[in-house]
Structure 1
Amino acid sequence: MSSLFPMFLKLDGRRCLVIGAGRIADGKAEGLLRAGATVTVIAPEANDKVHALAAAGRITWLEREVQPGDTAGYFLVVAGTNVAAVNRAVVDEARAADILVNAVDDPPYCDFYYGSIVERGHLQIAISTAGESPALAQRLRKEIDAQLPADVGDWLAQVGQLRREVIELEPEPNEDRKWILHKLAQRETCGKDDCPSRIIAREHAAEVAQK
């Protein structure tokens, strides 16, 4: 098998379909919602979580069995029923239409895998074993999670704001801008006005203004 291509996918406003509404499928639906997707769930029955999402208007729930043609028009499909034959039929149909598809817990029938995620604000670290050992991915996630500072998401937000300020002052890429942006990514960045990286950013802004 070829190596996987790692990427982070923008799903804002994308139509995504989840087949199934049990314990496995509901987590996939929630993950797609967090990424901004427009989510439809097809299942004759649903657990309490899916009921609640549908009642709140966060997802569209079609209360029936999946039918041929249901995947048409979707950007991404997750087949998450507990019947392998149903999942594989969904995969075959989606692949025929070049739709990205994942059959939960069935690696050969997946165009993509769900990584084991460590998350702090906008920082995401995704771990994949290409379906070889999800248990190993989960173990590594726990180890990384334990080592990553709890406030790193807040720190990232500060770095992001400083980066936008620098780019606004100096929109054209150059070595000076590259240097300052790398300097701002050091751990001493913080929200305090006398933070070392903020001082560097202000000094850089003053130099740009004098040019």
Structure 2
Amino acid sequence: MKRADVSLFPILLKLKAKKCVVVGAGKIAAAKAAGLLASGAQVIVISPRADAWIRSQARAGKLIWHRRRFVAADMEHAFLVVAATNSNATNEAVFQACAKRAVLCNVADDPERCDFFYPAVVRRGPLQIAISTSGRSPALARRLRIELERQFGPEYSAWVEQVGEMREKLRGRDLSAAERRRLLEEIAGQSAFERFVQHRETKARYPKERSRR
């Protein structure tokens, strides 16, 4: 099946404590490992040599670095695998080893050998906006990410937290389904966001006056 015929399924994964293997230890591999660590994964890096960041993380006990070449058995019980070496033969071997074990694999810069893609991501606290071109143009995905970062500024981080807290409070109230839905849409609406931003700006502008009241 050609790539053009495949429709990707968008999904956000919980990786906490899951075994995730990175084969390779250069700058690209380090970036992939950093993202996995940030998601709470158990990261195992396999490479004879390693980027300075990977070495430092291994010394700190934040990831495991096997200082050797990859073997197929490394894929056993892995949740997902990233291959990011400068050897096409090694990357192909990793991909085939994963396929035999039904393990999700991403080969860097090789869309045909990817079970999943890394999207460009806008992160604002609990808010995550992922952009993917299905591997066609990472440069376009990056440009769209920059545009969305301007649209969804840092203030969204605190606002989404507040919306979540208000939602939890509503869950404890005795409301009809229709009323609950109306209130949930209201607290997540544009007007509510604008009031939140205005309140923050006022609080930042007059902190002493507000504290004396």
TM-score w.r.t. the length of structure 1 is 0.86
Task: State the 1:12 CA deviation.
Answer: 1.2
In the alignment, which residue of structure 2 is the partner of 1:164? Answer: 168
SS at match of 1:169: coil
TM-score w.r.t. the length of structure 2 is 0.86
In the alignment, which residue of structure 1 is the partner of 2:188? Answer: 185
- Separation in structure 1 between the aligned mates of residue 102 and residue 181 of structure 2, nearest angstrom: 39
SS at match of 2:32: helix
- Separation in structure 2 between the aligned mates of residue 168 and residue 28 of structure 1, nearest angstrom: 40
Q: Residue type matched to 1:31 in 2?
A: G
In the alignment, which residue of structure 2 is the partner of 1:56? Answer: 60
SS at match of 2:37: helix
Task: State the 1:150 CA deviation.
Answer: 2.1
CA-to-partner distance for each residue in 1:140-187, whole Å, 9 max, x for gaps? 1111112222211110000011111111334x8822211111111024
- Identity among equivalent positions (%) equals 42
CA-to-partner distance for each residue in 1:62-99, whole Å, 9 max, x for gaps? 11111121111101000111111101110111011111
In the alignment, which residue of structure 2 is the partner of 1:127? Answer: 131
1:1-211 alignment runs, 5 A limit: 1-170=5-174, 174-187=177-190, 188-189=192-193, 190=196
Q: Residue type matched to 2:68 in 1?
A: R
Q: Residue type matched to 2:108 in 1?
A: V
- Separation in structure 2 between the aligned mates of residue 17 and residue 49 of structure 1, nearest angstrom: 16
CA-to-partner distance for each residue in 1:7-33, whole Å, 9 max, x for gaps? 111111111100011100001001011
Q: Residue type matched to 1:54 in 2?
A: A
> Structure 1, unaligned stretches of length 5 or more?
193-211
> Structure 2, unaligned stretches of length 5 or more?
200-213
CA-to-partner distance for each residue in 1:128-150, whole Å, 9 max, x for gaps? 00011111111111111122222
Length, aligned pairs only: 192
Please provide the CA RMSD for this pair: 1.7
User: Which has the higher mean CA deviation after the structures are superposed, 178-187 or 117-126?
Assistant: 178-187
Greater share of residues in helix? 2
